[in-house]
Amino acid sequence: MRTFQQVGPLRTYLRGIRAEGKTIGFVPTMGALHDGHKGLIQRAKGDCDLVVTSAYVNPAQFAANEDFDRYPRDMNADQAIASNAGADAFFMPSTDEMYPAGFQTVVDVPDMGAVLEGAHRPTHFRGVVTVVTKLLNIVQPDRIYFGQKDYQQLIIIEHLVRDLNIQSAVILVPTVRESDGLAMSSRNAYLSEQEREAAAILYRALMLADEMVKNGVTSADEVKRDVERLISSEPLASIDYVALINPDTLQEVHSLADGVALVALAVRIGKTRLIDNWFVAPAGIPISKNRLSSQSRAK
């Protein structure tokens, strides 16, 4: 695997790859790679001739009161994981490389970036969209891969790509889960042993919603109320939001009778803020018609 810290040499390398007629898959990350990232890289490797992974903790997507300073960083371990998963190139730029003196451009998808996560983290998606636009311009991949855990991010990037005529397909990959269902996340490293056990409540809440909708409950309010009640029964958990949304528009839905909805959660376990989501649909309506060939249950 080749490692690059600067844009110029990476572009030169990728120009050569493109000239050979090879396809490029791209997995952008903030490092602290885990099995979820490995799954994205492996999927990209299956689809494309060459895979680029980036690891950059993007300051622009953290608010002043968030965890930018303590976000886990281990570039040596990340390179080993990316290489073992099949990445061919690893891009690990510095902040001077990404935001040189005088940098001032901002890219935003304002409406979709203002709901759910955006309502709690108002500047977050502007930072994500700006850095992803830069990364897409640098790598110019045929396909860019995102995990379902960050579903709102994926929808926003789909908008970005469509609105700005960027020639990359955006690919959604199912969330990788621990055996108790907790979605893999770099932030799980913050959890104490007791918090780690408590964090399984998110998946249990999603499974409750899944079961209710499959059993014929059509009121989103009823599902939301029961999900909130279950999460609140865990003393270490506090809810930021529970939402039942249209997966395409991210708008809240009221009836679950007619199609696929997404249950999206943000829950603090102690001081650690975790997000997760799950597609739900009444019995007989296939989720696969929507976005995923299958979403991943805990094994």
Which residues are the active-site residues?
Answer: 37
Sign (positive/negative) of CA torsion 297, 87, 9, 164?
A: negative
CB burial of residue 226 (10 Å; 0-12, 13-18, 19+): middle
Number of residues in contact with ligand PAF under rule CB under 6 A: 10
Q: Kindly state whether residue 136 participates in binding ligand PAF, applying the rule CB under 6 A.
A: no
Q: Kindly state whether residue 58 participates in binding ligand PAF, applying the rule CB under 6 A.
A: yes
The number of helix segments (H) and strand segments (E) in the chain equals: 10, 9
Q: Which is nearer to ligand PAF, 98 or 201 (CB)?
A: 98
Find the part of the chain contacting ligand PAF (CB under 6 A) among 28-36, 78-86, 174-182, 269-277. 28-36
| Pairing mode, strands 261-269 and 143-147 | unpaired
| C-alpha closest to that of 131 among 165, 97, 173 | 97
The interface mask with ligand PAF, positions 59-88, x = CB under 6 A, is --x---------------------------
Shortest CB 31 distance to ligand PAF, Å: 8
Q: Kindly state whether residue 30 participates in binding ligand PAF, applying the rule CB under 6 A.
A: yes
| Pairing mode, strands 143-147 and 169-173 | parallel
Q: Kindly state whether residue 131 participates in binding ligand PAF, applying the rule CB under 6 A.
A: yes
Confirm if 196 and 202 have CB atoms less than 8 A apart.
no
Shortest CB 71 distance to ligand PAF, Å: 10
Q: Which is nearer to ligand PAF, 59 or 259 (CB)?
A: 59
d(CA 186, CA 115): 23
Binding site for ligand PAF (CB under 6 A): 28-30, 58, 61, 128, 131-132, 150, 153
